[in-house]
Amino acid sequence: MNMKALLKIPKVLSVLILSIALSSISCEDKKSQDPVNTSEKSEQQDSIVEIPVQKVEPPIVIHYKIDSLNTSVELDSFKDRYSEAQQKVIYALNRIDSRRVRVGKNLVIPDTLFDDIFNYAPFPENLKLLSDIPKTVLISQRVQGIALYENGKLIKWGPVSSGKRSTPTPNGLHYGNYKAREKVSTVDEGWILPFYFNFMNFEGVGVHEYELPGYPASHACVRLNLTEAKYLYDWAQQWELTSNGKYLHKNGTPFMVYGEYDYDAPAPWLQLAANNKSNEILESELRTLENYKAAYNDDEKNKRDFREKEENGLIAMNSKIK
């Protein structure tokens, strides 16, 4: 090997070594960067939260028709066509009990039948003006219905028969007073009133179970189906009295009675066939309820801490029982 060849070998080796060194550094840089990039990508992926798409169910639109039971054949067909649960719903919508279904009767019937009357409520599902009252009873004389609310949310409703034209149920803000599993009527001792809950003490007016004829028929009391009467009996709060029973410590559940029944027009529920919104609460009725609510707010006997304030001498004298 000549001298020039020997001199070229170190140069070649130097280039080769430098090339290997640079390649090694480049690989290390890639290795050191890869975990960081992977971590960043992972964090980015983890920060993306998939929000499930919620399906908004459209409200159920119910329409009604009038079914005329003109013959015994049509009456039998009606009873065969609907289940027992569906018949109860139809009776409730027509404010009657089963004994009132006979030949010649006109019935309003929804095109969609559920086994629960709740879906046909003529009352708002949520009533904001009642949201700060634990329990409220609404009685609409116009549509002959009762509704139970808890903090403004409708929990139950049903048909009623309020006072007839000559002995109407007094409208106004009343309160649950006392109750009795059975009470003898002051009008006729032969009338036994199951699940009686009084809301006008001296007048003797309250709610109770009794037959529903499909129009206002009582002597000022409000008749209910057995289901609603039993439920309200256990659900509503009675008044709180002093130990001697002479004075009122705290009001019971508010009973708000409103509206006027139109005796000269077809029954409101029959009007649903022409207008399925005709039984909904009116603006004028809402204003009446707002006035009742204002009176409720002004009454110190509705405050939750009433008894405590009274014991501390902050309230002078209890109200006499009315």
Same domain assignment for residues 212 and 265 = yes
Whether pLDDT at 6 is above 70:
no
Residue 15 belongs to a domain: no
Residue 285 belongs to a domain: yes
Residue 30 belongs to a domain: no
Which residues, including other chains, have CB under 8 Å from residue 25's CB and lie 6 or more apart? none
206 closest CA partner among 214, 198, 218, 216: 198
Same domain assignment for residues 129 and 153 = yes
Quick one: pLDDT at residue 251? 96
Residue 208 belongs to a domain: yes
Same domain assignment for residues 207 and 278 = yes
Measured distance CA(99)–CA(236) in Å, rounded: 29
Residue 77 belongs to a domain: yes
Quick one: pLDDT at residue 59? 76
Same domain assignment for residues 125 and 112 = no
Same domain assignment for residues 105 and 126 = no
Same domain assignment for residues 153 and 177 = yes
Residue 250 belongs to a domain: yes
Quick one: pLDDT at residue 187? 79
Same domain assignment for residues 153 and 76 = no
Quick one: pLDDT at residue 53? 67
Over residues 194-250, the pLDDT tens digits come to: 999 999 999 999 999 999 999 999 999 999 999 999 999 999 999 999 888 888 999
Overall pTM surpassing 0.85 (yes/no): no
Whether pLDDT at 188 is above 70:
yes
Over residues 20-41, the pLDDT tens digits come to: 554 554 444 544 445 545 555 5
Q: Which domain holds residue 95?
A: 61-120
Same domain assignment for residues 302 and 250 = yes
Residues 138, 228, 196: CA angle, nearest 5 degrees: 85
User: Of 73, 98, 120, which marks where a domain is finished?
Assistant: 120
Same domain assignment for residues 176 and 81 = no
Same domain assignment for residues 159 and 290 = yes
Mean pLDDT of the chain: 85
Quick one: pLDDT at residue 25? 47
Residue 130 belongs to a domain: yes
Contacts 24+ apart (CB under 8 A), 236-239: 236/135, 236/137, 236/176, 236/179, 236/197, 237/135, 237/176, 238/176, 238/177, 238/178, 238/179, 239/175, 239/176, 239/177, 239/178
88 closest CA partner among 144, 105, 96: 96
Tokens found for residue 270 = 């029959």
The CATH number that applies at residue 278 is 2.40.440.10
Same domain assignment for residues 199 and 264 = yes
Residue 131 belongs to a domain: yes
User: Of 91, 120, 149, which marks where a domain is finished?
Assistant: 120
User: How many domains is the chain built from?
Assistant: 2
User: Of 120, 142, 167, which marks where a domain is finished?
Assistant: 120
Same domain assignment for residues 189 and 113 = no
